[in-house]
Amino acid sequence: MAKLLTPDICVIGAGSGGLSVAAAAAAFGVDVVLIEKGLMGGDCLNYGCVPSKALLAAGKAAANDEKGSGFGVFTSGQSIDFSKANDHVRQVIAAIEPHDSQERFEGLGVTVLREAAKFTGPDRLVVGDTEVRARRFVVATGSTAFVPPIPGLDKVPYLTNESLFDQREVPDHLVIIGAGPIGLEMAQAHRRLGAKVTVFEAQKALAKDDPELASVVLDALTAEGIEILEETGVEGVRETDGGVIVSARTGDGRKVDVEASHLLVATGRAPNVEGLGLEEAGVEFDRKGIKVDKGLRTTNRKIYAIGDVAGGLQFTHVAGYQAGLVIRSILFRMPVSMNEHYVPWVTYTSPELGHIGMTETEARSAYGGKVKVLTADYSANDRAQAEGETTGRLKLIAGPGGRLLGADIVGVQAGEILNILSLALSKKMKMKDLAGFIAPYPTLGELVRRAAISYYAEAPKNVWVRRVIGLLRKFG
């Protein structure tokens, strides 16, 4: 090797998790090497969260124009320039790029290497002609789109999240395989920007979410003209002069053929573990990712793994959360434990769909009849009425003593409302806490307080409460 580096920490992968570890360690004056073979910022900035939400925003702008008549605002001659929507996506990425750039991190004191890394032993790896021997390593290589073994798929052109945002013209007919959050977000964005959209899902759409609230999203998408074929497995694809024909079979055995101008595969993510030399480092992994303990350590105690590559929930905010745990473990020797129970997630369709903590089923399995499900409808919220956004519902799952166990929400700004519930869950708050805070009027945040207050709905009927009130009245 032409060069040897011996940093305190070596981070592999400059996505959300890796950048967070590198920045935090450098802030404490720790010697850090950061390795990235692709684009700085990783999947989230370049192919995932950022571009998808930017395209969704463009679609929402188009939908808002159509919605204006309900407020007495009439527009005519609306046109959609998909290339301009794509320009917006590029501009958003460009605005955020400097924060994740090599120049910024080198300015923080981080040594950045822009080549592929491969372990050659339990305490070392090579990057080009450089060998790195670090006290601790953090693998944060993320994931890539999982492409299922569908017959014919390797012989036709198809899109994944890594190529979708390069499109300059709106698809005539976009067929999406996969009705999870990514598939449905992109279905709505493209439909609102002028595409015909069909979605295939082998199981249930949005299967991880509350079925009642998920159905609200699916109904909204269907009302916008998106065809969602649940329990319909794709059996093969073939190319035609006009695009691609997708052949599928429904749960009752009926065959369905759909011709698409464009095909998007959104069937999940696969961890980036290949080519890292994990075997040489003594790090165990499988198709789900690198095996880690609750402290995010691998089978090699010198090596941690965070983010998508570590399996588990695959969200940018999870990688950031795990980065904080790893910093506490490496720098301060603090015992840490990953707790997925506190991790929220949101599908950013319109309406949005969010979840945190236990589901209703999980709560009843753990606590039986001590569980109360408290609800508040958007239609009963004054701000929602004023803005014409009355479709939605909040559910709070309350356990013994009124402790918050989980929450589900569907409706406008569900993700923002979930922030306060994420804090409440992590701090083990009870319904009395959520019922007692003062929410500014009129806001959607009042939904939380309204649902929590309903926990005490039976109190006025309680005979002992009435007797106490009566007794106290006697004292004047």
- Selected from 3.50.50.60, 3.40.50.300, 3.40.50.261, 3.30.70.890, the CATH number assigned to the domain covering 3-145+270-340 reads 3.50.50.60
CA 36/CA 117 separation, integer angstroms: 8
Average pLDDT, integer, range 292-301? 98
State which fold the 351-461 domain adopts.
Enolase-like; domain 1 (3.30.390)
As given in the structure block, the two tokens for residue 117 are 């890394």
Render pLDDT for 157-215 as a digit per residue (tens, 0 to 9): 999 999 999 999 999 999 999 999 999 999 999 999 999 999 999 999 999 999 999 99
CB 188 within 8 Å of CB 353:
no
Residue among 154, 155, 196, 160 nearest 177 (CA)? 160
CA 476/CA 466 separation, integer angstroms: 16
pLDDT computed for residue 233 by the predictor: 97
Please give the CATH number for the structural domain made up of 153-267: 3.50.50.60
Q: In whole numbers, what is the pLDDT of the chain averaged over residues?
A: 95
Q: Give the residue extent of every domain in the chain.
A: 3-145+270-340, 153-267, 351-461
pLDDT computed for residue 165 by the predictor: 96
Q: Transcribe 426-471 into DSSP letters.
A: HTT-BHHHHHHSPPPSS-TTHHHHHHHHGGGTTGGG-HHHHHHHHH
- Above 70 in pLDDT, residue 1? no
Share above pLDDT 90 across residues of the chain, in percent, rounded to a whole number: 91
Average pLDDT, integer, range 254-270? 97
As given in the structure block, the two tokens for residue 327 are 């910093």
Average pLDDT, integer, range 59-76? 81
pLDDT computed for residue 127 by the predictor: 97
Specify the amino acid at residue 248. A
Same fold across 3-145+270-340 and 351-461 = no
**β-pair type (32-35, 9-12):** parallel
